[in-house]
Amino acid sequence: MSQATDPATLEQILAAAADAAGTTAAATPAQRAGWLNAAADALDAAADELIALASRETHLPASPRLQGELKRTTFQLRLFGEVLADGAFLGVTVDHADAAWPMGPRPDIRRLLTPIGPVLVFAASNFPFAFSVAGGDTASALAAGCPVVLKAHSGHPELSARTGDVLREALVGAGAPEGIFAVIQGQQNGVTALKDPRIQAASFTGSVPGGRALFDIATSRPSPIPFYGELGSVNPVVVTRAAIDARGEAIAKGYAGSFTLGAGQFCTKPGLLFLPEGHGLEDTLREAVAAIPAQPMLNERIAAGFADGLAKLSDVAGVEVLSESGGAEGISHGATLLATTAKAFLADADTVREECFGPASLIVTYADQDELISLLGVMEPGLTATIQGEESDVDWIRPVLPSLTRVAGRLLWNDWPTGVTVTWAQEHGGPYPATTAPTSTSVGTAAIERFLRPVAWQGFPDALLPEPLQENNPWDLPRRIDGKRQ
């Protein structure tokens, strides 16, 4: 296991990041894209070594899980290169001076998004590539022009160190400044870095208690900073009567596969299944869950936390175990599907509505549309909400949509939430406690917006303006000129 970064090295890393911020911000989009592509190439070249390390430290299978996750990681690095080439992320807006402006004479004002400065990224445990050292937070911050200090997760320290070496060497080798990226180890060092005035923003993926503690630190600094935390999510699935009649068996099997995928250690795992009373899927669900073997969890701490959470959930009045599989041995756990009624769900204030991180899920039966809306009304917000319905359900579903929109950042129709593609339109966020910043996303190209801040330039001569704002548009960027897109 890697040791905590010593204080002298931590200071060197923070100072180097601050020193690199100006150079990184001044780099052209084409230069930054070159850095990201070089990093992706280097990670692909080191795939065999990195996947072996990841499998040993996290107990996740090399194929197809880790192979696919590393491919996702390098894909998103390259995708942010496309974001940079597109140029719209800078939000360039030019309002020329206008003596006849209805609000009175308007001066020349030009607005541009600029890098916020050094970013501290807290890596996640459950995705050792895609949400870790070279993951989406790192990729989007680097694309924005921000140096990154990466706090490694204790669940895979050796992988973090090696991935960090590969990433840093590739970035610097492609022309990035020396302080553009570094990995630090140790819980207290993460707190120390978060408090350091040179850090200008932070991101986190993990538990609600851990994320909330860091969020409070970030916002209570003498100079508070943005903190983009992804914390917890239950991710409800609503199934209609028409959907059960049309394809109930497929829904039951799909749900069992989704909530047990990766031993239930996905932040988008569907934790609640809302079924109409008398749904008739009990036997199908029992069989689907019973067929799923026990799977190793990421580490002993997470396995113990799951066991405790499952025990608390099972002890709630009105909750019964509908199906189990595989048992438990060491850090391996089988799947557990529980069931309760709307009355019991509404009566319990906490346990049945909280995330149970691992291969468990809870069925809640509802009598009618009004009761379903009441159930959704007491839920904590999360990342996703899914509807399994039919075209004939449109009028029935429409009044339910406001409740689903309230509790989720991504709505799905006849799909499962455990696939989060990296693309331009993706939204991986939601109201607290899903995230600490509900206006943001941590997946997809819009993630770059977290690490940019707007600056307006009023009345400046062209020669002193940043190149994206100059009249001849030397970077050939998409811009809004006097209210019209060009």
Instruction: Please report the DSSP string for 322-372 in residue order.
Output: EEE-S-EETTEE--EEEEEEHHHHHH-SSGGGS---SSEEEEEEESSHHHH
> Which residue pairs, CB below 8 angstroms and at least 24 apart, start in 404-407?
404/236, 404/238, 404/376, 406/376, 406/381, 406/431, 407/236, 407/376, 407/379, 407/380, 407/381, 407/382, 407/431
Of 209, 231, 262, 232, the closest CA to residue 354 belongs to 232
158 noted as active-site residue: no
Q: CA-to-CA distance for 462 and 94, rounded, in angstroms?
A: 12
Q: What tokens does 227 get?
A: 């903190």
* Contact (CB, 8 A) for 94 and 480: yes
Residue 171: count other Cβ atoms within 10 Å of its Cβ: 25
Buried b (16+ CB within 10 A) or exposed e, 256-278: bebbbbbbbbbbbbbbbbbbbee
Q: What tokens does 56 get?
A: 């040993």
Q: CA-to-CA distance for 279 and 263, rounded, in angstroms?
A: 26
**By three-state DSSP, how is residue 80 classified?**
helix
> Which residue bears the tokens 């400046």?
460
Residue 58: count other Cβ atoms within 10 Å of its Cβ: 25
H-helix segments, 46-135? 47-58, 67-86
423 Cβ neighbours under 8 A, 6+ residues apart: 79, 444, 445
Say which of 57, 69, 146, 267 is annotated catalytic.
267
Say which of 230, 371, 380, 427 is annotated catalytic.
230
267 noted as active-site residue: yes
Residue 464: count other Cβ atoms within 10 Å of its Cβ: 9
Residue 100: count other Cβ atoms within 10 Å of its Cβ: 7
Residue 124: count other Cβ atoms within 10 Å of its Cβ: 22
Which backbone phi and psi does 237 adopt, to 5 degrees? -125, 125
**By three-state DSSP, how is residue 76 classified?**
helix
Q: What is the DSSP letter of 387?
A: E
Find how far residue 288's CA is from the centre of its chain.
Answer: 29
46 Cβ neighbours under 8 A, 6+ residues apart: 162, 166
Residues annotated as catalytic are: 230, 267
